[in-house]
Amino acid sequence: MNLVFATHNPNKLSEVKELLQNSISLKGLDEIGCFSEIPETGNTIEVNATQKSSFVANKYQINCFADDTGLEVEYLNGEPGVYSARYAGEAKDPNANIELLLSNLKGVENRKARFKTVISLIINNEEFLFKGIVNGVISESPIGSKGFGYDPIFIPDGYTKTFAEMDFEVKNTISHRALAVNKLIGFLNQL
Ligand code: IMP
């Protein structure tokens, strides 16, 4: 089966390719000649994932999946959520995002948060959703230099370290994205 992952990110693509059986030929957007940004204008992570997968499935008439991820902070009513990448502005600066989030949580005791990844898969015009959630807390200040995005301020439940202090292999066994991708892979490999 031919399948497209609606991403321009080569790292995300090769990660999933390695886990798939040979019966599935996976291509990224660049490999099908799609170099434009896919619209993501929804108000929820679910809607954004669906918007991206259906845009590609419709435009290229191909089976496809797309992912969308956000950090949801309980005290901030689920913010930054869909705005995680551009929380502090269109520059999408991770340090500015972290600074803004920490200042919005200054003196706040409830620091509960969760990362959520949603994958929308469209096969023969039918949609399947796969979710991965990791609960945790927001630290008082950034710690660690690994990873990306909000990793320096996110401590997953059951751990004392931020994601940014963990080796990739460790984060990759417990992360929201890994949980969602594993569900997707399990589904695809039994088709
Ligand atoms: P995307 O949907 O994978 O592009 O993620 C949207 C935004 O969520 C990213 O730009 C990051 O700010 C944040 N994010 C997603 N996944 C992670 C993660 O594993 N660690 C830290 N931040 C993340």
**Would you kindly state where each structural domain of the chain is located, as residue ranges?**
2-189
Each residue's pLDDT tens digit, 37-60: 899 999 999 999 999 999 999 999
Alpha helices in the chain (DSSP H): 10-19, 45-60, 94-104, 168-174, 176-189
68 as an active site residue: the answer is yes
Q: What's the CATH fold of domain 2-189?
A: Maf protein (3.90.950)
Band of residue 106 on the pLDDT scale cut at 50, 70, 90 = very high
- Among candidate residues 75, 135, 78, 69, the one with its CA nearest the CA of residue 108: 75
In the prediction, which pLDDT does 148 show?
Answer: 93
Q: Residue 165: CB within 6 Å of ligand 1?
A: no
Task: Give the number of C-alpha atoms closer than 13 A to the C-alpha of residue 140, restricted to the C-beta side.
Answer: 2
- Among candidate residues 1, 48, 49, 57, the one with its CA nearest the CA of residue 29: 57
C-alpha 70 – ligand 1 centre gap (Å): 6
Q: Residue 70: CB within 6 Å of ligand 1?
A: yes
What integer is the mean pLDDT of 148-170?
96
Spatial separation of the C-alpha atoms in residues 42 and 117, rounded to whole Å: 15
Pocket test for ligand 1, best of 15, 150, 162, 169 (most atoms within 8 A of CB): 150
Spatial separation of the C-alpha atoms in residues 115 and 80, rounded to whole Å: 11
In the prediction, which pLDDT does 36 show?
Answer: 86
In the prediction, which pLDDT does 22 show?
Answer: 82
Spatial separation of the C-alpha atoms in residues 58 and 47, rounded to whole Å: 16
Q: Residue 63: CB within 6 Å of ligand 1?
A: no
Band of residue 23 on the pLDDT scale cut at 50, 70, 90 = confident
